[in-house]
Amino acid sequence: MVFGDDDGRIFNRFTVALDVIAHELTHGVSDREGGLSYQGQSGALNESLADVFEILTKQFHLQQRVSSADWLIGVGLFLPDMNARGLRSIAAPGSSYDDPVLGKDPQPGHMRDYVKTREDNGGVHINPGIPNHGLLPVSLIPT
């Protein structure tokens, strides 16, 4: 795996966030074992699986309880001048950033809001908010 340095304008170095490293590692596993096409809904599910393992890794590392976790993906990736908390939010898809340079986080949280597009391999980085958002209520079920 190769992780980029900061660009000095928007992003910090990508190794600043352990969860992002876990995300990319999960892509390696799912690419080899999962058989999910990286296009459209299948690609969004591929991203969601990586997000789930990313958030689990982060919560384990920080010893966060489900109820007190921030449920944000990629905290610390954006430079301080950006109006951004992270790349994606599991708890509130579409709320991670709203910045003049970045635009507004386009993540839908429900299938009725699925974004059909030809860009980004059919929205693989836009639509994982749909299955991601289902993780939070399941995680809060008492055991």
State the catalytic residues. Answer: 24, 125
3-state SS class at 31? helix
Under 8 Å between Cβ of 98 and 104: yes
- Return the structure tokens found at 35: 């058989």
What are 133's strand-pairing partners?
none
Q: Which of 77, 74, 83, 113 is nearest to 5 (CA)?
A: 77
- Return the structure tokens found at 107: 């993540």
3-state SS class at 104? strand
CB atoms within 10 A of CB 134: 15
